[in-house]
Amino acid sequence: MTTHNVTLIRGDGIGPEIAEVTRECLEATGVAFNWDVQEAGIDVMEAQGTPLPESVLESLRTNKVGIKAPITTPVGKGFRSVNVQLRKELDLYACVRPCKTYEGVSSRYKDIDLVVVRENTEDLYAGIEFERDADDTGKLLEFIQEFRPDSKIGTHPGISIKPISVSGTERVVQYAFDYARANGRKKVTAVHKANIMKFSDGLFLDVAREVAAKNSDIEFDDRIVDNMAMQLVQTPENYDVLVLPNLYGDIMSDLCAALVGGLGVAPGANIGEGGALFEPVHGSAPKYAGQDKVNPMAMILSGVLMLRHLGEVSAGDRLERAVAKVVAEGTHVTYDLRPGRSHQGAAGTKEMGRAIIRALEA
């Protein structure tokens, strides 16, 4: 039996509680892990002077697979988001968010089963920004005036640059097809605004079509992003795997999460050449820290994605079924899955984890 070397980042706030329960559930599948437990976040900041010690990055570079609990990004206290740093340092270029209906999670939609693959490194998030009235912005405006004399820009603009490259698009679209194939999916839809932004979104669409031609065993189509938003609300059942540039991906992944009951139950993965980091979509919910109250489901389902990534597909399927069973029964679930989000009669984090392990063993 293979033992998997995995970096476990316990996070802060509610992180350590859900990380512990997730580890127990993953071990209960019978898959063997050699955990490298790493600390990052605000608690480490005080002791080590950085929220992201080099040892965390080294561990991830060595193991190439990690699972991470949420980490707080304090507002206005001057440290960069650890989450963003991790994605940048490890070049985790694809953000994958499956959005699936589980019976017992309240939503007005039924039977949703979508996967959003968001490009994670380019687009308006590349950080190439020009501040209003700054010297370099003045130079940029002169350049634009010279080469695009017809463009009309109002006074004192701030400007963000939107780079979308052939290499960046190729790798994320190829990943979407690889994911579709590995997970028995039928169709990949590329989402863009190529009718307006011909050289950035237009490039994304052209390259997506080229990649699709090399992956003709999987169906391919494309949608303009505004139309996609409407169709996801009206007929989400027509879609399967979506691949999008960074900004549209950010917005559409929240829309898709809303279709299945919100961010609190959604798992995620960040994938790159150098490795894969699995994490729940929700944050560190500091107000519930240390209270054994929050739902571990999103992190456990992130563990399910990790199991499949490691090739432990049947263990992943079993763990997902165990989570689904406990959530559908609704007895040993945390407050957020109770009628009216009532804390009365709700299970704690650990109790829900124990129920999932019992369901796994049944």
CB of 156 to ligand NAD, least distance (A): 30
Residue 63 contacts residue 273 (beta carbons within 8 Å): no
Rounded least distance, CB 125 to ligand NAD, Å: 15
Catalytic-role residue among 193, 325, 335, 336 = 193
* Strand duo 32-38 + 3-9: pairing: parallel
Considering only the stretches 58-66, 103-111, 241-249, 277-285, report the one whose residues sit in contact with ligand NAD under the rule CB under 6 A: 277-285
162 counts as catalytic: no
Region near ligand NAD per CB under 6 A, out of 158-166, 177-185, 236-244, 279-287? 279-287
Residue 125 annotated in active site = yes
Token representation of residue 168? 């960046």
Nearer to ligand NAD, 59 or 189 (CB): 59
Binding residues among 248-267 for ligand NAD as defined by CB under 6 A: 264
Pairing, β 94-100 against β 219-224 = unpaired
Return the structure tokens found at 14: 């509610």
CB of 197 to ligand NAD, least distance (A): 28
The Cβ of residue 134 has, within 10 Å, a number of other Cβ atoms equal to: 13
193 is known as an active-site residue: yes
With binding defined as CB under 6 A, does residue 284 bind ligand NAD? Answer: yes
Q: Where are the alpha helices (DSSP H) in the chain?
A: 15-28, 42-48, 54-63, 82-89, 135-147, 166-182, 201-213, 225-234, 246-259, 297-309, 313-329, 349-361
Count of residues that bind ligand NAD according to CB under 6 A? 17
Checking phi first, is residue 279 left (phi over 0); if not, alpha (psi -120 to 50) or beta? Answer: beta
Part of the chain binding ligand NAD (CB under 6 A), chosen from 150-158, 212-220, 283-291, 305-313: 283-291
In the sheet with 241-244, reading across from the earlier edge strand, the strands are 32-38, 3-9, 65-68, 275-280, 267-272, 94-100, 113-119, 241-244, 187-192, 219-224
Contacting ligand NAD within 178-237 (CB under 6 A): none
DSSP state of 190: E
Type of residue numbered 337? L
Segment contacting ligand NAD (CB under 6 A): 29-37, 43-51, 136-144, 287-295? 287-295
* Min separation Cβ 359 and ligand NAD, Å: 19
Q: How far is the CB of 27 from ligand NAD (least distance, A)?
A: 20
Q: Does 56 bind ligand NAD (CB under 6 A)?
A: no
Q: Binding to ligand NAD by residue 16, rule CB under 6 A?
A: no
Among 39, 250, 279, 312, indicate the residue that binds ligand NAD (CB under 6 A): 279
From the list 36, 93, 100, 125, the catalytic residue is 125
User: How far, in Å, CA of 279 to CA of 301, rounded?
Assistant: 9
Q: 3 forms bridges with which residues in the sheet?
A: 32
* Catalytic-residue membership of 239: no
38 binds ligand NAD (CB under 6 A): no
Find all residues with CB under 8 Å of 101, minimum gap 6, and list them: 107, 109, 110, 111, 112, 113, 259, 260, 261
Sequence-separated (6 or more) residues with CB below 8 Å from residue 350: 17, 21, 292
Q: Annotated catalytic residue: which of 136, 198, 226, 287?
A: 226
Residues catalogued as catalytic: 125, 193, 226, 250
The contact set with ligand NAD (CB under 6 A) reads 70-73, 83, 264, 279, 282-285, 287, 294-295, 298, 334, 336
